[in-house]
Amino acid sequence: MYLINFSLTVSAAHSKFPLSVTDWNILVLFSSTFPECQLCVLTGGALQIDFRPAFWRREAVQRIRTTRTQKIQPHSGALALFSVRFRNCCPDLLVGAEVALSVGGKVDIMSQLMRVITRKMSTSRAVEKVVVIGGGLMGAGIAQVAASSGFRVTLVEVNEQLVEKAKGNIQKSLARVAKKQFKDDEAAQNGFVATTLGRLDATCSLTDAVRDTDLVIEAIVENMKVKHDLFAKIDSVAPQHAIFASNTSSLSIREIAQVTQRRDRFGGLHFFNPVPVMKLLEVIRTPETSDDTYKRMMDFGQSMGKVCITCKDTPGFVVNRLLVPYLAEAVRLLERGDATAKDIDIAMKLGAGYPMGPLELADYVGLDTTRNIISGWHENFPENPLFQPIGTLEKLVQDGKLGVKSGEGFYSYKK
């Protein structure tokens, strides 16, 4: 007995539910040898449903076989149970088949109730399609590495110009990775770049992008309100099974998730800059993150070749809780005139073995992001001296000196 969550294309002119809802629960009963498959469609309204053949690929069937769940009886009267029987039919035989069936019936059911039941019945579904929102420093890197690891990726930016900029940055970075991986083999380098780009789309159309995805990774500006607006907008459009993750450096994942109806399918995936180089991924679970979501996030991170560590939803998780106060202290040292920027950076590289000095690193991370992290923590923990605002940093950001990405920060990067 297996319970799975189907992704279906619903083409009903008179459906009671918005057509953007593409996840419907189907109860599939398999005997252990698959001599018979009973398919029960749980939905309401008069609908015409197309089963897309991709679902029946052999790997998908294999995965279902290992995803054992308990039988759930739908509340009679609340839901219609439509069932179709494929007698003596092994699902593998359906490879490539396009099964279209019409189901009739009229049930008065609130979409809210549907949602609750859907959530209860959702089960594991490995990540194949990923949407990355924000194509800046982090989003472009995450999209690139996900695509080169075999995932189908859509990157979302706010306008065409930024879409093009993100694509250009990805191409440059991919060329560096290809050169490193395939040394003098130019054909292999080109093949790697072309294959990766073939798995990557970039668009400004947010809602279209999330309509058919398994995982959304948000990497937009470090601001709670902006992140809330984004997640509220996509929650009703993305499939029920899809996991939402934020790449936030410092904000509470639980608080970001508040605006959604999928707090059990919400977590943190905190990557490090530059994403193609840094091996670490912090996987964050809130008290509401389900075991299944956590597992899917860990599997995804490992498939990207990252070393995953787990941390509770605490400010800055592990790395930034230690790193950002250190960066802030370096700016305060400079502000007090204790040492020059160059000497502070030399000191930490040669005296502590860091690959970059703290002011170089703040420029590399982005002074806007660094400033937003500190000011967000200051708002929440006003007594903590480590999180007090720093005049020098505020001024640089106000002047548009955001570090490497704007061409100037503590240092100049203008060519």
- Of 89 and 404, the one with the shorter C-beta distance to ligand CAA is 404
Residue 139 binds which entry of ligand NAD, ligand CAA, none, with Cβ cut-offs from 5 to 8 Å by kind?
ligand NAD
Q: How far is the CB of 337 from ligand NAD (least distance, A)?
A: 27
User: What are the strands of the beta sheet with 9-10, ordered from one edge?
Assistant: 9-10, 47-51, 99-103
Query: Quick check: is 282 catalytic?
Result: yes
User: Which token pair is 182?
Assistant: 């395939």
End-to-end CA distance of the chain: give it in Å, rounded: 64
Q: How far is the CB of 120 from ligand NAD (least distance, A)?
A: 31
Q: Which of 356, 378, 386, 405 binds ligand CAA (CB under 6 A)?
A: 356
Residue 356 binds which entry of ligand CAA, ligand NAD, none, with Cβ cut-offs from 5 to 8 Å by kind?
ligand CAA
- Of 107 and 356, the one with the shorter C-beta distance to ligand CAA is 356
Binding string, residues 290-329; x marks residues near ligand CAA by CB under 6 A: -----------------------------xx--x------
Q: How far is the CB of 229 from ligand NAD (least distance, A)?
A: 7
CB count, 10 Å around CB of 32?
Answer: 7
Q: Residues 122, 249, 290, 375: which is the catalytic one?
A: 249
Q: Which of 351, 355, 382, 385 binds ligand CAA (CB under 6 A)?
A: 355
Residue 173 binds which entry of ligand NAD, ligand CAA, none, with Cβ cut-offs from 5 to 8 Å by kind?
ligand CAA
Q: Residues 7, 270, 406, 408: which is the catalytic one?
A: 270
CA distance 400 to 411: 13
Q: Which of residues 263-282 bind ligand NAD (CB under 6 A)?
A: 271-273
Q: Which of residues 221-250 bind ligand NAD (CB under 6 A)?
A: 221-222, 230, 247-249
Q: Which of 52, 58, 120, 176 binds ligand CAA (CB under 6 A)?
A: 176
* Residue 146 binds to ligand CAA (criterion: CB under 6 A): no
Q: Which of residues 155-174 bind ligand CAA (CB under 6 A)?
A: 173
Check if the beta carbon of residue 402 is closer than 8 Å to that of residue 368: yes
Count, residues near ligand NAD per rule CB under 6 A: 26
Q: Which of residues 254-293 bind ligand CAA (CB under 6 A)?
A: 272-274, 276-278
Comparing CA positions, the residue from 280, 258, 260 lying closest to residue 271 is: 280
Query: Quick check: is 378 catalytic?
Result: no
Check if the beta carbon of residue 257 is closer than 8 Å to that of residue 266: yes
- Of 7 and 320, the one with the shorter C-beta distance to ligand NAD is 320
Residues that are catalytic: 249, 270, 282, 320
What is the binding site for ligand NAD (CB under 6 A)?
133-139, 156-158, 162, 219-222, 230, 247-249, 271-273, 365-366, 369, 405
What is the binding site for ligand CAA (CB under 6 A)?
173, 176-177, 180, 249, 272-274, 276-278, 319-320, 323, 355-356, 361, 365
